[in-house]
Structure 1
Amino acid sequence: MNEIRHIVFDIGKVLIHYDPDLPFSRLIPDPDARRWFFDNVCTHDWNIEQDRGRSWEEAEALLIASHPEHAENIRNFRRYWHEMVPHAYGDTVDLMEKLIDSGHDVTLLTNWAPDTFTEAKGRFPFLERPRGITVSGLVGLIKPEQEIYDLHVASFGLDPAATIFIDDSQKNVDGAKAAGWHAVLFQNAKTLEEDLERFGIMP
């Protein structure tokens, strides 16, 4: 196994909690109606395009044109976004900071909309600690497309064969592997520490 010299963290659901149900359990109390809304209106595929860089104004207008009766809750997705990211995972953040403090090269690669990422940086100062960040919405590329992994490598001078990626999505883990990286599926901080030790990485 090649020596790992670069550690790349995803952010959402790895370092920071994300759950759209948090505000929408109040906005749409009925669980079946709420699930229908996420399955048919503010869907994952719709939201991911903001992560690719589409503006919220354009995204909202697109949905309101086809679902005018849901206009208010369509706008509420961005309006109450801050409630969807209530806290960081302290144990994972501690692990990341220990890696940085012990001299490991740590960067971040995230699918995130530009404006909400700016907001997140203001709320979670630890996001400034790694050497650098690739934000999908700022570069117009998105995981698991290989181009964003290649761009991250080029931007930060990484050797793909000496890089390990940590993400909560199996598709994104598989995308990293297809780009020549090592990668592990994030479950929790304890399992991650075990995964890193397996690769010879000690915080």
Structure 2
Amino acid sequence: MKTIDTVIFDLGGVLIDWNPRYLYRKIFKTEEEISWFLDNICTGEWNDKQDGGRSFEEATAELVALHPTFTEPINAWYGRWQETIQGSLPGTVEILKEIKGASRHRLYALTNWSAETFPWALDNFDFLHWFEGIVVSGVEKTRKPFPDFYHILFERYGIDPNRAVFIDDNIKNIVAGNALGLRTIHFQSPEQLRTELLALGIL
């Protein structure tokens, strides 16, 4: 087994606390209403298209035309997008800081994120500048779990997947990473991540 020289982080759900419920708790009265809206109107599949490069304007217009009675909450998805982010996940940021401080591993990020909102993240989270490179799905017009998105990272930065570990909270992305030869950690908490990184000798 080759020695790990590269650590690849997902961002949302691993380092950044993103959840549309933070916004929609201010709009709807119950968790049940929020769940219905996210399952039927602003769905994960719909949001994936923006992560893959579709514009907010096109995405919003499509849904408003289909569901005019939900115009206000649909418009809020992007009009109030910053309210979907609670901040960073400090425990994971501390782990990232420790890896960076040791200077033994290269650090990269591979994120499903709209090209239109990622500049805001760069301006508001200093730790994003600790990475040697970040590959953003909305910029590349492809996303996890598609193999071509991972290969953009590998080829752009000369990464050998057999010498890298990939951290993500989405099991589909983990399965895709495994298929490409990455060692992976399915993120569930900073404590669990620390334990697994210690076992790999990265911390």
TM-score, structure 2 normalization? 0.96
Instruction: Give the SS at the match of 2:17.
Output: coil
Deviation at 1:117, TM superposition (A): 0.9
Equivalence for 2:194: 193
Q: Does 1:110 align with 2:106?
A: no
Map 1:102-141; keep pairs closer than 5 Å.
102-103=102-103, 104-141=105-142
1:4 is the counterpart of 2:17 = no
Alpha-carbon shift at residue 95 of structure 1 (Å): 0.8
1:161 alignment partner in structure 2 = 162
Aligned to 1:90: 90
Gaps in structure 1 of 5+ consecutive residues = none
- Number of the residue aligned with 1:182: 183
CA RMSD of aligned residues (A): 1.0
1: distance between equivalents of 2:108 and 2:30?
40
Corresponding position: 1:40 with 2:40: yes
Shift of 1:36: 1.4
Provide, for residues 55-114 of structure 1, a one-character-per-residue CA deviation record: whole Å limited to 9, x for no partner.
000000111111111111110011121111121011111110111111121100000001
Whole-Å separation in 2 of the counterparts to 1:144 and 1:121: 23
- Which residue of the partner structure matches residue 146 of structure 1? 147
Which residue number in structure 1 is paired with residue 80 of structure 2?
A: 80
Q: Identical aligned pairs, as a percentage?
A: 36
Q: Is the 8 A contact 1:3 1:200 kept in 2?
A: no
Cα offset for 1:199? 1.7
Query: What SS class does the counterpart of residue 117 from structure 2 fall into?
Result: helix
Taking the aligned partners of 2:13 and 2:4, their CA distance within structure 1 comes to: 23
Counterpart-to-counterpart distance in 2, 1:92 and 1:35? 27
Output the CA distance in 1 between the equivalents of 2:155 and 2:11. Answer: 20
Distance 2:34 2:95 in 1: 35
Displacement after TM superposition at 1:31 (Å): 2.6
SS at match of 1:92: helix
- Mean Cα deviation higher: 125-134 or 186-195: 186-195
Per the TM alignment, residue 42 of structure 1 is displaced from its structure 2 partner at its CA by: 0.4
Render the CA deviation track for 1:140-161: whole Å, top value 9, x for unaligned: 1110111111111001110110
1-side partners of 2:151 and 2:180: how far apart? Answer: 7
Q: Number of aligned residue pairs: give it.
A: 202
Amino acid at match of 1:188: S
